[in-house]
Amino acid sequence: MITRSGWGLAVASVLVYAAGAPFGYTQSAVLAAAGLAAVGAGALWTLRGARLEVRREVTPMKVTRGEPAVAILHVRNTGRWRHSGLVARDTCRDTTVTVDVPALARHTARTVSYRLPTRRRGPTPVGPLLLDRADPFGLARRSLAYGRTDLLLVRPRTVPLTPLHSGRRRHLDGLASRSAPAGASSFNGLREYVIGDELRHVHWRSTARTGVLMVKELTDVNLPDTVTVLDTRPSSYEGDDEFELAVDVVASAACAVTRDRFPVRVLTGEGEIAHATGGPGEDEDVLDRLATVNRSATAEPPLHALRRVRGGGALVLVSGSFTALADAAAVRRRFDQVVFVRVGDAGEGPVPRAAGVTVVEVGDLADLAASWPH
């Protein structure tokens, strides 16, 4: 492909010839021929096949919004000729990242790295990777696509929070967790024995019948559970920054529960997006699912979602408008503790209140950590 410089030289050569030929200036014909020849030579230069092995790695594949993600590019020259003037162009969503590749002698390899933009949350396609090869004078360029498109997942930010008190009694004789077989007193099922299980939980009748050592799996029926609701109506937010902060708040509240191995449900105006039961590593799944949340014109008010969930435990409702405070107040008697978080700049006048609801107003995540109820 002829570059702008190449087209400019070609047009200038034609104009020089057109201006000098009628007056018999042979120099103009020589200059015009030289210019066109240079453009043609540049095009032939880029048409020459380049035997390259190109591989791109993205690390890490999952990253918190705003934290660094790096692409590492490995380029190897497997041909007989030296290659220079190589420029790599990688597309990351709507941003193009350009990096120069050092000259490659025959049978040599180079590795370059570059940062990828992570300011926007969500699944972020990286690629396709284009390698531009230009002639020494920049008159022609050829682009070749290499490799596949990778998917970088940009997840919401979080701050450490303490789980809300649900007002329920916790057992004192063991861990209050579904994953702890000896941590409670309610029968949940049978499973095969693993090293470390207490022999007093062996179910001998099932063991005799199956020939396999079976133990009783117990669960704490008084586990404190939490429901978090994200208001996804576009009218509830003034802009993208407010909504991103709301997602960060929900992620922080939900992960505070899952990291302590307690159940949590995450709801939006379009339904449930995550349901953690208290198992290990479920905070990662919650973050992955919240990475894909967007505002929707078809989203229902939070109250509609809350009417479909079982009461009890704690409720966290996050919105960019105080109009959703009435939804939290309407269901306050069904939950042991209700927290309403309004994100955005502080408005003029007093903060609205509702009986039985803890109201928190935050402008960033630092405000959330400082004002979160303990």
In the prediction, which pLDDT does 270 show?
A: 92
In the prediction, which pLDDT does 361 show?
A: 95
Cα–Cα dist 49/82, whole Å = 12
Average pLDDT along the chain, 374 residues, taken 10 residues at a time? 82 83 80 82 71 92 95 92 86 90 92 94 92 78 84 96 68 40 56 83 88 77 79 95 96 93 92 90 94 96 89 93 95 93 84 93 94 89
Long-range contacts (CB closer than 8 Å, 24 or more residues apart) made by 4-8: 5/137, 5/138, 5/139, 6/39, 6/42, 6/43, 6/138, 6/139, 6/140
Around Cβ 360, how many Cβ atoms within 10 Å? 19
In the prediction, which pLDDT does 70 show?
A: 96
In the prediction, which pLDDT does 7 show?
A: 84
In the prediction, which pLDDT does 317 show?
A: 98
Q: For the whole model, what pTM was predicted?
A: 0.75
E strands, 50-161, where?
Answer: 52-59, 62-64, 69-77, 86-92, 95-101, 109-116, 122-134, 141-146, 150-155
Question: Domains of the chain: which residue ranges?
Answer: 4-47, 52-155, 186-219, 226-371
Kindly report the CATH number that applies to the domain delimited by 226-371: 3.40.50.410
E strands, the chain, where?
Answer: 52-59, 62-64, 69-77, 86-92, 95-101, 109-116, 122-134, 141-146, 150-155, 186-192, 214-219, 226-230, 264-268, 271-276, 314-319, 337-343, 358-362
* Preceding peptide of 60 cis, ω within 30°: yes
CATH architecture of 52-155: Sandwich (2.60)
